[in-house]
Amino acid sequence: MAMNRRRAIGRLAAALAMPCLSPSPLRAQPGDAFPNRPITLWVPWPAGGATDLSLRLLAELAGRHLGQKVLVDNRAGAGGTLCMPILQQAAPDGYTIAQLPQPVFRAPWIQRVLWDPIRDTTPILQISGVTFGIVVPAASPLRSLDDVLALAKAKPGELTVATNGVGTTPHLVMDELLGRRQLSYVHVPYKGTAEQMLAVASGQVQVGVNSNGFAPFVDSGKLRLLATFGEQRTRRWPQVPTLKELGHGIVATSPYGLAGPHGLPPVVVSSLHEAFKAAMFDAAHIAELARYDQELAYLGPADYGLAMREAHAAEKRAVERLGLARAPAG
């Protein structure tokens, strides 16, 4: 009996010494409650910009409701569209989500891409829109948008205009604004808002066009805001006219939200939606958005999905109108 006991103990010790062959706790198993590990929120802009900072706060607040951390990772470049390859390739388990900026609905009409912003995503919720504006250095002799247009006319091809990337809303608006008047300019794209605004403030470029992130530079007196792109003047800068009231007929706010890969289970969508909805209505998040003259523009999954499809169709019409549509496949 003693011999049998020693053999049993030996087999038990050997079993305990063997590598664990059970499923890794880092991978969710069928029936596991969601979430049971951290979630990654991809932001298609550089770290430190206005959108990145507000989404980092939103992620922190949402994580409290989810009971798991929401980690923010950045994939900047390509005009804010690099979130789409990530979503297209991610597992539909809710652990990979991303911010969807307006350029993802525009890019497929301008250039050939392997992803589709409607087919390859599951909408979670819409968060807010942005305030776009045209800025110049505080010491610039350009005091109005008319001054910018006059300079472009007087010195063809010499006006330098910085935006946050090729194919972004600022780029397309300036292209339309100047193109209508057959005015040429030098486009200087930047990956990040902070880098771009520093370039404008230092006089490396004459004009900057972007959203939200110019606010601290304007409020500190480093930049002069000439016009905004909203339907109405902003509450933050009520003295600054809109492109619409200046007679240019352009309104652009580029709403954005969060989405996951195609095929997210409804229960996962519901969990993410409820957590991020609670987070976006948190007073701290509302105050963070106000720093950049943003307000909440909440839409739930179904309504956000409809808004995404409408935005995709509207961008097609805009691209065709501007003559920027890509040639059909041959």
What value does the mean pLDDT of the chain take? 89
The pLDDT confidence band at residue 150, using thresholds 50, 70 and 90, is: very high
Residue 12 lies in a domain: no
20 belongs to a structural domain: no
Question: 211 and 187 share a domain?
Answer: yes
In 212-275, beta strands by DSSP E: 223-228, 256-261
In this prediction, residue 5 has a pLDDT band, given cuts at 50, 70 and 90, of: very low
Both 158 and 122 in a single domain? no
pLDDT band, very low/low/confident/very high, at 14 (cuts 50, 70, 90):
very low
pLDDT, tens digit, 9 for 90 and up, residues 271-300: 999 999 999 999 999 999 998 888 899 999
pLDDT attached to residue 155? 96
pLDDT at residue 8, as a whole number? 41
By CB atoms closer than 10 A (0-12, 13-18, 19+), residue 57 is middle
CA distance linking residue 330 with residue 270, whole number of Å: 42
The answer on 214 and 265 residing in a single domain is: no
Domain check: are 159 and 213 in the same one? yes
pLDDT score recorded for residue 270: 98
Tell me the pLDDT tens digit for each residue of 215-256.
999 999 999 999 999 989 998 999 999 999 999 999 888 899
User: Does residue 55 sit within a domain?
Assistant: yes
Alpha-carbon distance of 92 to 259, in angstroms, equals 11
Kindly indicate the confidence band of residue 22, based on its pLDDT and cuts at 50, 70 and 90. very low
> 């300019």: which residue's tokens?
185
Residues 45 and 120 in one domain: yes
Average pLDDT over residues 120-127: 98
Q: Residues 220, 162: one domain?
A: yes
- In the chain, the number of structural domains is 2
**Per the domain annotation, does 175 fall within a domain?**
yes
pLDDT in the model for residue 32: 66
Q: Report how many helices (DSSP H) and strands (DSSP E) the chain contains, helices first.
A: 11, 11
Top pLDDT among 188 and 23 is at 188
For the cut 50, the answer to whether the pLDDT of residue 114 exceeds it is: yes
Q: Is residue 293 part of a domain?
A: yes
Would you place residue 6 in the very low, low, confident or very high pLDDT band (cuts 50, 70, 90)?
Answer: very low
Question: Do 53 and 46 contact (CB within 8 A), yes or no?
Answer: no
Structural domain of 203 = 132-228
State CA 160 to chain mean position distance.
25
Residue 242 inside a domain? The answer is: no
pTM: 0.77
- Whether residue 117 sits in one domain with residue 264: yes
In a domain? residue 4: no
CATH number at residue 272: 3.40.190.150
Task: Assess whether pLDDT exceeds 70 at residue 7.
Answer: no
Q: Are 149 and 210 in the same domain?
A: yes
Residue 4: the pLDDT is 44
Cα–Cα distance between 15 and 280 in angstroms, integer? 50
**Residue 204 in this model has a pLDDT that exceeds 80:** yes
The percentage of the chain sitting over the pLDDT mark of 90, rounded to a whole number, equals 72
Residue 247 lies in a domain: no
Is residue 104's pLDDT more than 90? yes
Q: Which two tokens stand for residue 296?
A: 């909440």
The tokens for 329 are: 């496949």
Q: Check pLDDT > 60 for residue 3.
A: no
Q: What is the CATH number of the domain that holds 137?
A: 3.40.190.10
If you compute the radius of gyration of the chain from its CA atoms, what whole number of angstroms results?
A: 24
CA 176/CA 162 separation, integer angstroms: 15
SS3 246: coil
pLDDT value of position 15: 37
Q: Alpha helix (H) ranges present in the chain? A: 2-17, 50-66, 83-89, 103-110, 145-154, 169-179, 193-201, 215-219, 266-280, 283-290, 301-321
CB 48 within 8 A of CB 192: yes
Mean per-residue pLDDT for 47-76? Answer: 96
Identify whether residues 222 and 152 lie together within a single domain: yes
Q: pLDDT tens across 190-199, in order?
A: 988 889 999 9
Please name the residues in contact with 212: beta carbons below 8 A apart, sequence gap of 6 or more.
Answer: 50, 51, 130, 131, 193, 292, 293, 294
How many angstroms separate the CA atoms of 66 and 54, rounded?
18
Residue 122 has pLDDT above 70, yes or no: yes
Which band of pLDDT confidence, cut at 50, 70 and 90, is reported for residue 88?
very high
Bridging pattern class, strands 39-43 and 296-299: unpaired
Same-domain pairing of 113 and 162: no
148, 121: one domain: no
What is the pLDDT confidence band of residue 127, given thresholds at 50, 70 and 90? very high
Same domain, 262 and 224: no
